[in-house]
Every structure is written in C-alpha cells, then in structure tokens.
Structure 1
Amino acid sequence: MNRHRGVWAASTGGAVKRWRRGLHRAWEWLRVGALFAHGRELELMHRAMGFATLALVTLAPLLIVVAAADPLVRGGFASWLTDGMGLSGRSARVITDVISPPRKVIGTTSVWSGVLLAVFGVSFGGSVQNAYERIWGLASGPWHRVWRQATWLVALTAYLYQEVATKNALHGGQRITLSTLSGVAFFWWGQRFLLGGQVHWRSLLPGALATVLGLAGLRAFSHLVFTPLIVTNALSYGAVGTVLVVESWLIGVGFVIYGGALFGRWFTDHHWTPTHDHRDDEEESG
C-alpha cells in the first residue's frame, strides 16, 4: 500500500515539475516581462492621465464647437460622448445636461476663440506624437512638423464624426464592421503619420488592431459600469461627479491607445519581426 502511495506521489511530483517547466518556457517565449518593463519605463498610467487631462481641457472644447456647427448630427458633442462611452437612457441624459446646448456654444464662440481652440487641439496631437515616439524609441520630431499634428487632429475629428454619423444609419453587424475597419485604418495610419514614416506599416498593424480591440472592450466596460455610476454620481455630487466619471473614462481611452501601441511594439519585436526590421530605411520628407 505504501509502495503504491510512493509511486503515485513520485508521478504526481514529476507531473507538477513538468507543468512548471512548461509554464516557465511559455512565459519566457511570450516575454511578457518585457512588455510590463516597457510599460513602467513609459509610465503608461501617468501618460494616460495626461491624455485624459489634455483631452478634457484642449480637445473637448474644440469638438464641442465642431459638433455644434454640424447641422446633420443632432445632439451636439453630448451625442459624440455618449456614443463613445456606450451610454443610453438616463445616464445619456445626464451627460447631455452637463454639456452646453449647441446653439449656446456656437453663439458665444468667436473666430479668435475658434483659432485658439484649434491651437490647443494641436498641442494634444503633439502629446500623442511624443508618446508614440517614446514607445518606438525615436527622437522627437522638429518643431516644423507641427503640420502633422494638425492634420492628425483633423483626421481624428473626421473619424469621431463618422462614428456618430453612422449611429442611426447603420445597425448591428454593419456598424460594427465599419467601426472596426475605420478604427484600424485610423490608428494604423495615425501612428505612421505622426512618426514621420520612420516605422514600417507592417510593424504598426498589431498596435492598431490591439487599440481597436481595447477600445471595444472599454466601451463594453463603460456600458456596464459607468452607466449606473453616472446617475449615482450626478445625484450625489452634481455636475462635478459626472465630469469625474467622464475623466475616468478618458483615462481608460488614453491607457488603451498608448497601451495598444506599446503592445504592438512588443509583439513586433518579439513575435513578428526582428527589432532592426521595424524601421524604414528612409524617412518621409517633411
């Protein structure tokens, strides 16, 4: 009896050791540790918080004016925000009440104010560009490449606009397909463009795919968690509570955008192509 127990214990212990060795080899092959180390080096959460702050202070006012001037999409910037967060019902109405009505916004905004909002929006694009450069280990681009940041900002606005404009025109699988394709195209092109063509298209594709998947997951999380939280915070803290929830969501957006690009760099270096292959031999001019 004791002999059988000893044989069983030995076989079990051998299986556990083999399982541990296999797990260790899988961990080494995946090189997940390198991904976390790069995230700490980049200060990913800190950058995500900076992304949220700049988005709320510089990008949101510009989008409010753009949405208010659009005669085709009703609801103004509030409809943009609630669609992105996946909100509906009472939580969507709370967000709408916090955002200024479109007519009031467009009536109190001068041409000079619009120019200032555009300049501030470009600074937001510069922050995203700097994060991408840090992720890919590139030197900061010269100041005269600010036109790239401005162009990227226009493309971002167009991307967000089509997301909202297709809300009522398309449903179900059609909208999901369009959102996925347009999202991959924007984040794929956006990295390439802001980096001045220094990184090959092929190396940037995994990051674009990871970003779109992350944003889809964040939207589902927002629908489940932030929908009741917005109503609760609005009752407890008023408009300030609602803004805090929106700011938390923006932190998540920043984390996904930078984290997606970071994942793309890690995947490219360790599982797609050698490190020295991800850069183009020649930069684009400008």
Structure 2
Amino acid sequence: MPLLKSGTRKLAVPDWMRKHTPLLGRLLEQLAYVNVVDSATRLAAQAFLGAIPALFVIGAIAPDWVQEQLVSSIRTTMGLQDASLEQVRSVYSADGGAAVASSGAVGCLVTLASATACSRALQRTCERAWHQPKAKARLAAWRWVAWLSVWLAALLFQGPVQDAFGTGWVGGFLLAATSSILLWWWTQHLLLGARVPWLPLLPGAVLAGVGQQLLTLASRVYMPGAVERSLQEFGSLGSVFVLLSWLITMFVVITLAISVGYVVAHEPLPARWLRTPDGPPRPTS
C-alpha cells in the first residue's frame, strides 16, 4: 500500500536512502506528510483552550472526592509540586455554585462544548496519519463527545493508576502503560470511524501508550524545577508557558506514535501478522 495518496506532495527522499534504508525513507515521507510539529501544536492549542478549561469547570462543580482525584492525577501526570500544585488546588477550592454563577450556566455549557475541538483535531490527525478521507460531521459528532468523556474519566483515576493502587512505581508504570495502550488503541478505532480494523492500529497504540508514560516519568523529574523557574521569572503566567510546552511535547509524542504505527503496520512482516488491509482507503461510512 503506498504511503501517500496520488496527488499528494512527497518529501524528496534521496535514491540511496530508498535503496539501502527503505523503511527510513517511508518513515520520513510519512512524518513529512502528517506534519508532526504542526499537528501537535494544533492539538496542544485545542487542549489548552478547550479541554483544560472544561476540566476545571467539571472539577469546580464536582464533589470534593472528584476534586481530590483530579488534583492527584494532575500531580502524578505532570509532576507538579509546591506553588504550581497550590494554584491547581486554589481553582478547585473555590465554591462550585459561585463558579457556575459567575460564569453562567450558558458559559459552562459553551466551555464543555468547545472542548470537543480537541477531539476534532485529534480525529483529523488520525485520518491524516492513516490516509483516510475526512468523516462527515453528522457521523462523527457523537464520537467527539464519547472520546472526551472517556478520557476525562480516565484522567480522574490517573493518580491511583500511576501508583498501581499503592503497589509502587514499577507496577504503576506497567499498569498505566497498559491502560494508555488500550485507550489509544480504542481512540484510533473510534475517531477513524471503524474504517481501519483493530489489529493494524496496535503498533501505534503501543508506541503512544509507552511514550506517554515515559513522558510522565520525565515530567516528574523536569517539571518541578521548570515550573519553579518560570514562576520566579514570569509570575503566575510562567506556569501557563510551561503547561503549553508540556502539552506540545505530549502531542508530538502521540502524533509521532500514530504516524509511525501506520508505517509499521504496513511493513511486510507486521502486515501479515496484523492482517493489514491493502489497497486504497475505503469510503467514509
């Protein structure tokens, strides 16, 4: 199956690379086609402007135990500590009724609805990585809401999952990586509208799940110092810069994983194991 559809501009890969390292050539063509950095930046922007405000709105009006779980999940996922963690706590410590009253019920609904922009951006990334035509909005709208709901629910329990419910960080890494793999496997299948079978989506899911957990481990080491320096230099605005940088990094990892997963799934040996279909993309159902 060709990497790029007819009429699509390809990256100029040298002939010697095509001859001696064909896999590398196909990877470079795929990454150039998907435009990893541009896609990741768009995803980060949509998450920052839509999904994260929705998370705060939900947390502000949720019961106390939900707020504590969200704070724990943010702390373990992003490695936030001290002043930056207190900023998150201060958002959730505000009275939920007052938060709704100040912003208005309509404003809260608009915030929650705008959060699906992240779902739509991720769908476009998956479709581009898998060379699928854009799905019709009326057929995909419920998938945007479903994806956002499941991921918000999954984030709620990231704290205990990352610690394997008290068994330690090794067990936590394995459990969190497994759950992330399953979530990214389901994410691709859902947002692609089931146009790609389950098995070919597995390599990308494994890369995304493991990559996400490695980023989480790195965040626990890097983020506390980075946030502290940014707070000292820029005040409360510094944490915004660090958060946006973290989101871009995370979505670079995810976009790379999904894009590389497509290439791996179409290599001869994995394609036989995964029963990857050959031929042009099927029409959108």
CA distance in 2, matches of 1:276, 1:216: 28
Residue in 2 that maps onto 1:226: 223
Residue in 1 that maps onto 2:242: 245
Q: Determine if the alignment matches structure 1 residue 151 to structure 2 residue 156.
A: no
Q: Indicate if the aligned counterparts of 2:181 and 2:206 stay in contact, CA closer than 8 A.
A: yes
Partner residue of 2:179 out of 170, 178, 182: 182
Partner residue of 1:108 out of 99, 107, 130: 99
Structure 2 counterpart of 1:62, one-letter code: A
Structure 2 counterpart of 1:59, one-letter code: A
- 1:64-115 CA-partner distances (Å, limit 9, x unpaired): 1223314324447544332211334x3xx32432664214262312432232
Structure 1 counterpart of 2:276, one-letter code: D
Q: Which one is further off, 66-75 or 199-208?
A: 66-75
Structure 1 counterpart of 2:125, one-letter code: A
Partner residue of 1:211 out of 208, 212, 217: 208
Structure 1 counterpart of 2:188, one-letter code: Q
SS at match of 1:176: helix
Shift, 1:149, TM fit: 0.7
Residue in 2 that maps onto 1:19: none
Using the size of structure 2 for normalisation, the TM-score is: 0.81
Residue in 1 that maps onto 2:86: 96
CA distance in 1, matches of 2:279, 2:65: 41
Q: Indicate if the aligned counterparts of 1:67 and 1:76 stay in contact, CA closer than 8 A.
A: no
- 1:143-172 CA-partner distances (Å, limit 9, x unpaired): 112011111111111111121354573331
Residue in 1 that maps onto 2:130: 136
CA distance in 1, matches of 2:71, 2:279: 41
Shift, 1:281, TM fit: 11
CA distance in 2, matches of 1:217, 1:128: 21
Residue in 2 that maps onto 1:9: none
The aligned length equals: 260
Q: Determine if the alignment matches structure 1 residue 32 to structure 2 residue 51.
A: no
- In structure 2, relative to structure 1, the CA distance for the partners of 1:223 and 1:165 (3 Å cut) is closer
Shift, 1:213, TM fit: 1.3
CA distance in 1, matches of 2:58, 2:89: 14
Structure 2 counterpart of 1:161, one-letter code: L
Structure 2 counterpart of 1:205, one-letter code: L
Shift, 1:279, TM fit: 7.0
Residue in 2 that maps onto 1:277: 276
Q: Indicate if the aligned counterparts of 2:176 and 2:213 stay in contact, CA closer than 8 A.
A: no
Alignment RMSD (CA, Å)? 3.0
Residue in 1 that maps onto 2:13: none
- Seq. identity, %: 22
SS at match of 1:199: coil
Shift, 1:119, TM fit: 1.0
Residue in 2 that maps onto 1:59: 51
Q: Determine if the alignment matches structure 1 residue 83 to structure 2 residue 76.
A: yes
CA distance in 2, matches of 1:26, 1:215: 33
Mapping for residues 258-269 of structure 1, pairs under 5 Å: 258-269=255-266
Q: Which one is further off, 185-194 or 37-46?
A: 37-46
Residue in 1 that maps onto 2:113: 119
Shift, 1:51, TM fit: 1.2
- 1:10-68 CA-partner distances (Å, limit 9, x unpaired): xxxxxxxxxxxxxx899626x12221221122111011111111111100011112233
- In structure 2, relative to structure 1, the CA distance for the partners of 1:191 and 1:220 (3 Å cut) is same
- In structure 2, relative to structure 1, the CA distance for the partners of 1:257 and 1:25 (3 Å cut) is closer
Mapping for residues 68-79 of structure 1, pairs under 5 Å: 68=60, 69-75=62-68, 77-79=70-72
- In structure 2, relative to structure 1, the CA distance for the partners of 1:70 and 1:183 (3 Å cut) is farther
Shift, 1:184, TM fit: 1.1
SS at match of 1:113: helix
Partner residue of 1:197 out of 175, 194, 197: 194
CA distance in 2, matches of 1:282, 1:27: 29
Using the size of structure 1 for normalisation, the TM-score is: 0.80
Residue in 2 that maps onto 1:160: 155
CA distance in 2, matches of 1:217, 1:27: 31
